[in-house]
């Protein structure tokens, strides 16, 4: 499975063929004393060398009470209902643990995945973009042609005002200094 650096909006779905008591060890990454990643069974099984755990989900399908895997994919992941219906029977029959990997999990790093046991690929789906609706505006003031509004008068440039103030300060200080010297000379 190729992941391009510009990939967006894809959702990869895998069955995780492990007993529940082994899933936690599969999920956990192991670090050394310096915080360097030593081992991550999940990333190893996926064949990914750059994987952000914030964009993956690992859960038991039975936790989707009433919603089911197809419903979660549509409502929770934003996948087109039509796309999910094509695989609906197979997805509804899925039991046990599943892994959801979003495109963002690869951190815009091009890589080739080589999934192996205990992962079993179920499908790759595209997130559905938000549909744009153009409803009429509710206000009567929003109807008709725009009014002829006179152009806004040109105001002074605040940068010029600051520049003039900066130049005027030394001149004012010079005039005050001369007045002080003239007054003390008398």
In percent, the amount of the chain with pLDDT more than 70 equals 84
Q: What is the pLDDT of residue 132?
A: 46
Confidence of residue 143 (pLDDT cuts 50, 70, 90): low
Quick check: is 134 in a domain?
no
d(CA 89, CA 100): 18
Cβ proximity of 98 and 14 under 8 Å: yes
Residues 95 and 178 in one domain: no
For the whole prediction, is pTM greater than 0.75?
Answer: no
Residues 122 and 169 in one domain: no
Indicate the helix (H) or strand (E) that contains 70.
Answer: helix 68-75
Residues 114 and 186 in one domain: no
In percent, the amount of the chain with pLDDT more than 90 equals 49
d(CA 14, CA 11): 10
Residues 160 and 87 in one domain: no
The count of domains in the chain is 2
Closest by CA to 172, choosing from 180, 160, 182, is 180
Residues 113 and 162 in one domain: no
Residues 35 and 118 in one domain: yes
d(CA 96, CA 17): 8
Residues 180 and 104 in one domain: no
pLDDT mean over 90-102: 94
Quick check: is 102 in a domain?
yes
Residues 94 and 168 in one domain: no
Residues 35 and 120 in one domain: yes
The residue range of the domain holding 176 is 156-186
d(CA 84, CA 71): 9
Q: What is the pLDDT of residue 173?
A: 83
Residues 120 and 75 in one domain: yes
Quick check: is 101 in a domain?
yes
Closest by CA to 112, choosing from 65, 48, 51, is 48
């Amino acid at each position: 499975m190729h992941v391009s650096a510009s990939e967006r909006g894809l959702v990869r779905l895998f069955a995780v063929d492990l007993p529940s008591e082994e899933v936690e060890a599969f999920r956990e990454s192991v670090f050394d004393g310096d915080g360097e990643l030593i081992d991550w069974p999940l990333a190893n099984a996926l064949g990914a060398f750059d994987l952000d755990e914030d964009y993956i989900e690992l859960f038991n399908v039975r936790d989707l009470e009433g919603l089911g895997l197809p419903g979660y994919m549509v409502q929770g992941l934003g996948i087109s209902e039509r796309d999910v219906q094509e695989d609906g029977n197979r997805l509804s029959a899925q039991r046990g643990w599943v892994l959801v990997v979003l495109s963002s999990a690869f951190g815009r790093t091009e890589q080739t995945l080589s999934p192996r046991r205990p992962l079993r690929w179920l499908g790759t789906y595209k997130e559905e973009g938000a549909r744009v609706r153009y409803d009429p505006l509710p206000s009567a003031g929003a109807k008709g042609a725009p009014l002829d509004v006179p152009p806004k008068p040109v105001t002074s440039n605040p940068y010029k005002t600051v520049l003039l103030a900066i130049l005027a300060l030394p001149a004012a200080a010079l005039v005050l200094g001369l007045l002080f010297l003239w007054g003390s000379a008398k």
